[in-house]
Amino acid sequence: MISRRTFVGSAAALALSERLFAAETAAAKPSPELEKLGALALNEAKRLKATYCDIRITRYRNQTMAVRLNPERGTGKTLVVPTVADSGSFGFGVRVIANGAWGFASSPFVTMAEITRITGEAVAVAKANSVLQTKPVELAPVAAYRTRWVTPHEKDPFAVPLAEKLDLIRAAANEVKKSDRVFSSAAQMVFRSEDKYFASTEGSSIQQLCLQSTGGVNATAVDTARGLSKSRRFQAPPSTAGYEIVPVMNLLENASRVREEVQEHLAAPPVTAGKKDLVLLPTHLWLTIHESLGHSTELDRALGYEANYAGTSFLTTDKLGKQRVGSDIVNVWGDRTNERGLATIGYDDDGVKTTKFPILEKGIFMHYQTIRDQAHLLGEKESRGCCYADSWGSVPFQRMPNVWLEPGSRDTSLESLIAGVEDGILIDGDGSFSIDQQRYNFQFGGDAFWEIKGGKKGRMLRSVAYQAKTTDFWTSCDGIAGPAYFQQYGALNDGKGEPAQSNAVSHGCSPARFRQINVIQTD
Amino acid sequence: MLTREEAKKITDRVLALTTFPECAVSLRNSETASIRYAVNSVTTSGFQVEQQLSISVTKDKKTGSTSVTEFDDKSLRDAMKRAEQLSDVAPPNPEFIPGLGPQQYANFDNFVDATAAARSAAMIPAIRAVIEGARAKNLVAAGFFERDATVSVIANKHGLFAFERSTDSRLSTTVRTPEGSSSGWASSQSPDISKIDVAAVAAAAIGKCDRWRNPKRLEPGKYMVVLEPTAVSDLLPLIGSQFSARSAEEGRSFLSKKGGGTLLSEKLFPDFVTLRTDPFDKRNRGMLWTNGGIPAAPVTWIEKGVVKNLVYDRYWAQQAGQKPTPAANRLMLDGGTDSLDALIAGVERGLLVTRFFYLRVVNAQTVQYTGLTRDGLFLIENGKITAPAGNFRFNESPVRLLQNIVKMGVPERAQGGEGEGMIAPALVVKDFPLTSVSDAI
CB contact (8 A) between residue B82 and residue A86: yes
A286 and A259 housed in the same domain:
no
Pairing of strands B306-307, B299-303: antiparallel
DSSP state of B389: B
- In sequence order, which ranges of A130-197 are alpha helices (DSSP H)? 162-176
B190 and B244 housed in the same domain:
no
Closest residue on chain B to A396 (Cα)? B44
Kindly state whether B185 is in contact with chain A, defined as any CB-CB distance less than 8 angstroms: yes
Q: Which of A237, A267, A297 is the last residue of a domain?
A: A267
Closest residue on chain B to A438 (Cα)? B440
Nearest by Cα to A109 from A97, A98, A101, A121: A121
A155 and A288 housed in the same domain:
no
Q: How far does A468 lie from chain B, in Å, by closest CA? A: 9
CB B69 within 8 A of CB A91: yes
Count chain A–chain B contacts defined by CB atoms under 8 A: 302
Contacts of A303 in chain B (CB under 8 A): 39
CB A122 within 8 A of CB A92: no
In sequence order, the β-bridge partners of residue A151 are none
A132 and A104 housed in the same domain:
yes
Whole-angstrom distance, CA of residue B174 vs CA of residue B208:
10
CB B348 within 8 A of CB B383: yes
B127 and B242 housed in the same domain:
no
Please tell me which of the candidates A14, A82, A102 has its beta carbon nearest to residue B45: A102
Please tell me which of the candidates A224, A436, A523 has its beta carbon nearest to residue B358: A436
Q: Which of B211, B238, B269 is the last residue of a domain?
A: B211
The whole domain housing A364 covers: 274-521
Length of chain B: 441
CB contact (8 A) between residue B89 and residue A163: yes
Which CATH number do you get for residue A251?
3.30.2290.10
| Cα A469 to Cα A96, A246, B440, distances in angstroms | 40, 37, 10
Q: What ipTM was predicted for this assembly?
A: 0.95
Give the DSSP letter string of B234-292. Answer: HHGGGGGGGGBHHHHHTT-STTBPTTSSB-TT-B-S-TT--EEE-TT-TTSPP--EETT
Per the structure, the count of domains in chain A is 2
B195 and B229 housed in the same domain:
no
B277 and B404 housed in the same domain:
yes
A252 and A329 housed in the same domain:
no
Per the structure, the count of domains in chain B is 2
A217 and A278 housed in the same domain:
no
Give the DSSP letter string of A456-469. Answer: EEEEEEBSEEEEEE
B234 and B201 housed in the same domain:
no
The whole domain housing B229 covers: 215-441
Q: Which of B192, B211, B230 is the last residue of a domain?
A: B211
Q: Which of B196, B211, B226 is the last residue of a domain?
A: B211
B289 and B432 housed in the same domain:
yes
A207 and A345 housed in the same domain:
no
- H/E run at residue A128: helix A112-129
Listed in sequence order, the residues at least 6 apart from A120 whose beta carbon sits closer than 8 Å to its beta carbon are A44, A48
Contacts of A311 in chain B (CB under 8 A): 357, 374, 440
Whole-angstrom distance, CA of residue B334 vs CA of residue B336:
7
A387 and A513 housed in the same domain:
yes
A305 and A163 housed in the same domain:
no
A366 and A485 housed in the same domain:
yes
CB contact (8 A) between residue B440 and residue A438: yes
Contacts of B68 in chain A (CB under 8 A): 87-90
Question: Helices B198-211 & B120-136, crossing angle to 10 degrees?
Answer: 30
Q: Which of A267, A296, A311 is the last residue of a domain?
A: A267
A209 and A345 housed in the same domain:
no
Q: Which of A267, A289, A307 is the last residue of a domain?
A: A267
Whole-angstrom distance, CA of residue A79 vs CA of residue B250:
15
Kindly state whether B173 is in contact with chain A, defined as any CB-CB distance less than 8 angstroms: yes
B66 and B143 housed in the same domain:
yes
SS3 B51: strand
B182 and B41 housed in the same domain:
yes
CB B208 within 8 A of CB B376: yes
Which CATH number do you get for residue B207?
3.30.2290.10
CB A213 within 8 A of CB A504: no
Contacts of B49 in chain A (CB under 8 A): 2, 106-109, 118, 393
| Per-residue pLDDT tens digits of chain A, which is 523 residues long | 333 333 333 333 446 788 888 756 667 899 999 999 999 999 999 999 999 999 999 999 999 999 999 999 999 999 999 999 999 999 999 999 999 999 999 999 999 999 999 999 999 999 999 999 889 999 999 999 999 999 999 999 999 999 999 999 999 999 999 999 999 999 999 999 999 999 999 999 999 999 999 999 999 999 999 999 999 999 999 999 999 999 999 999 999 999 999 999 999 999 999 999 999 999 999 999 999 999 999 999 999 999 999 999 999 999 999 999 999 999 999 999 999 999 999 999 999 999 999 999 999 999 999 999 999 999 999 999 999 999 999 999 999 999 999 999 999 999 999 999 999 999 999 999 999 999 999 999 999 999 999 999 999 999 999 999 999 999 999 999 999 999 999 999 999 999 999 999 999 999 999 999 999 999 9
A425 and A349 housed in the same domain:
yes
B206 and B272 housed in the same domain:
no
B185 and B241 housed in the same domain:
no
B158 and B120 housed in the same domain:
yes
Strand ranges (E), A23-77: 52-71
Whether omega before A499 lies within 30 degrees of 0, making that bond cis, reads yes
Please tell me which of the candidates B38, B87, B370 has its beta carbon nearest to residue A443: B370
Kindly state whether B254 is in contact with chain A, defined as any CB-CB distance less than 8 angstroms: no
CB B40 within 8 A of CB B135: yes
Give the DSSP letter string of B69-120. Answer: S--SHHHHHHHHHHHHHHHHHSPP-TT--PPP---------B--HHHHH--H
B258 and B390 housed in the same domain:
yes
